[in-house]
Amino acid sequence: MSEQKGSKIYIVVWFWLLLLTAVEVFLGYKQLPVGTMLTLLLGLSLVKAALIIAYFMHLRFEQRSLTLTLMPPLVICIVLMIVFSFPDGIRLLNMRGGG
């Protein structure tokens, strides 16, 4: 087992997670349009989530069958939730006369 090498990659991943978090906080103080900001922050968070799942939770080094069983249903369910609820939220906003 290459234990030392293993520790090194975890520290590199941790460093990247901290860096991406710093970028997110920096973006929070930029006066960006809400849609752009949401897209950027969610995009960065998805990258961070992928790093945590792949390396810290070790899924990259498990059988591919485990990943393929766990991830697609999760993604499909979340996408369905978003697809069904967000347009309705925007409809409510328009009915209430908001931006």
Partner 1 sequence: MASMAAWGGGSAPYAVPSKKLGMWLFIISDALTFSALLVAYSYSRIANPAWPTPFSFSPAIVLSSIMTFCLLSSSLTMVMAVAAAHRHDRGGAVKWLLATMFFGLAFVVLHANEWMHLIHEGVTPFKNPWGAPLFGATFFTLTGLHMTHVATGVIYLGVIAWGFGRGRFESMDVEVSGLYWHFVDLVWMFIFPLVYLMSIKTG
Residues making contact with partner 1 (CB under 8 A): 1, 3, 6-7, 10-11, 14, 17-18, 21, 24-25, 27-29, 31, 34, 37-38, 41-42, 44-45, 48-49, 52-53, 56-58, 62-63, 65-66, 69-70, 73-74, 77-78, 81-82, 85-86, 88-90, 92-93, 96-99
How far apart are CB 80 and partner 1 at their closest, in Å? 10
How far apart are CB 30 and partner 1 at their closest, in Å? 10
Structure tokens that stand for 34 in this block: 């809400």
The 3-state DSSP class for residue 25 equals helix
The answer to whether the CB of 55 falls within 8 A of the CB of 12 is no
Contacts of 67 (CB under 8 A, 6+ apart): 59
